[in-house]
Structure 1
Amino acid sequence: MTDRLTRLAKQFQDANDEVADLKKRLPVAQGRVKKLRTDLAAAIVDEIQSGRRTQTEISGITGYSPERIRQICRAASVEPQE
């Protein structure tokens, strides 16, 4: 049976190893988020322009606030309709 100090030292090292692994993966995940944010904004604008979905529907799907959806649309020179 291991003593408390040995067990905690092992857990500490495991946690540090996990942090190191996450640091390596973080830039890849951040790149995906950046691309997906751009793609999502384009899809939101397309849905609003085509009239397929309302701002309220998009808010429910994306979790974005209605104000954020308005900002995205206005940045694309589109005025959202409620």
Structure 2
Amino acid sequence: MHASATKTITIQYVAMFKDQANQSIEKIETEIKTCAELYKYLQEKYKFTIPLSQVRVAVNHEFCSMTHLLKDQDLVVFIPPVCGG
């Protein structure tokens, strides 16, 4: 029984991530397990400048922790720190 851990994740880019990735939405096939691992992968790919510790994440429109386990068909949005008051 070899169930593949590959899943399709949709990433929606907002704010500066949208500028740095040069797109607003992307689907990837991946075996990445957590939001933190996904962010590190994207940070490497697009040279995101914001450290993981300053980023929030929402999966399927709900804020969650970076240790959240990703599932097939998840929609992930990484949210950079918001400036201003």
Q: Which has the higher helix share?
A: 1
TM over 0.5: no
Q: Which has the higher strand share?
A: 2
What TM-score does the superposition give when structure 2 sets the normalisation length? Answer: 0.25
What TM-score does the superposition give when structure 1 sets the normalisation length? Answer: 0.26
Higher relative contact order (CA 8 A, sep 6+): 2
